[in-house]
Amino acid sequence: MTLNFGGRLIATDKPIVMGILNLTNDSFYEGSRVSDPASLVTQAKKMIEEGASILDVGAMSSRPGARITDEQDEIRKIVEAVGILIKQIPDAVISVDTLRSSVAKAGLDVGAAMVNDISAGEYDPHMMPTVAAYNVPYVMMHMKGLPENMQSDPQYKDVVLEIMSYFSRRIDTALQHGIRDVVLDPGFGFGKTISHNFEILKSFEAFRIWDKPLLAGISRKSMIWKTLGTDAGQTLNGTTALHMTALAKGASILRVHDVREAVECIKLFEFLK
C-alpha cells in the first residue's frame, strides 16, 4: 500500500509514524502543545529526526467535552503553522487535522499534503469534494457524536460491527467523490468507553478487510491512564505496549506524541516478524 502526497510516494507496507503537533492549549496532553513558531519548528524537526514520516498539525481540540472552535481562528493558525513548517522544513509531509473543508483547503494551499478528518466528511459535506480536488490522502475516523458530547454514555450493540458498517458507507462515499487514498481510523476514545476501546483493539485486524492503511491513534489516551490509575503524562510505557498490539493486528500508521519510542517499537516489531 502506497500513499501519494502530492507526487511524493510513501509506502505503508512497513508501518510509519505520524507525529502530533497541537496549536491549541486545550489539547488533552500538554506535551503535544506548541504555543509559538519557534517551539513549533523545534518540535517538528525533532520528530522528523526521530523518524516521523508525517506531521499532523491541528488547531482545534478534540478532547472529550471540547467545543468546535472559531473557523477563522482555526484557518489563521493552520495557515501560519503550515507556512512556517514548509519554509523551515521543505521536505516535511504535513497533514491538516480538521473537520472543516475551509481549513483543509487553506492548509493544502500553503503546502500541506494530507487531511485528517475526525468526522469522515460527515460534519462538512464539502470536505470530500475538497480532498478529491487536491488529490491527497484522506484519514477517515469513526466518531459517535462530536467532541463536546461524544463521551456522554456512548452505546453500541457491537462496537466493531458498527464501525465496520460505518466505514463501508464512508469508503463508498469517498470513492464516489474520487478520493484515491483513504486511511481508516476506528477512533479510539471518540464516543467509546474504555471497554469499547479495548474491544476495538482486540479486533483491529477486522478493519483490514478493505485493504486500506489503518491508523492507530492510541497515544497517551484515557483508555491507558484510566486503566492504569495514572494520568496522560505517565502513559508512555502503556502506550508502547498497546502500540505493539496494534502493529501485530495490522496498523500501518501510529499517530503519536512520542516519535522516538514509536519508531523503536516498529523496529522491534519488524525484527520480530
Catalogue the active-site residues: 221, 255
The alpha helices in the chain, defined as continuous H runs, are: 37-50, 71-88, 101-109, 127-134, 159-177, 194-202, 222-228, 236-248, 259-272
Q: Which residues of 44-61 are buried (b: 16+ CB within 10 A; e: fewer)?
A: beebbebbbbbbbbbbbb
> CA-CA distance, 71 to 103, in Å (whole number)?
8
Q: What is the DSSP letter of 128?
A: H
DSSP state of 227: H
Q: CA-based angle 4:119:223, to the nearest 5?
A: 100
Q: What does DSSP say about strands 2-5 and 8-11: parallel, antiparallel, or unpaired?
A: antiparallel
Spatial separation of the C-alpha atoms in residues 245 and 92, rounded to whole Å: 28
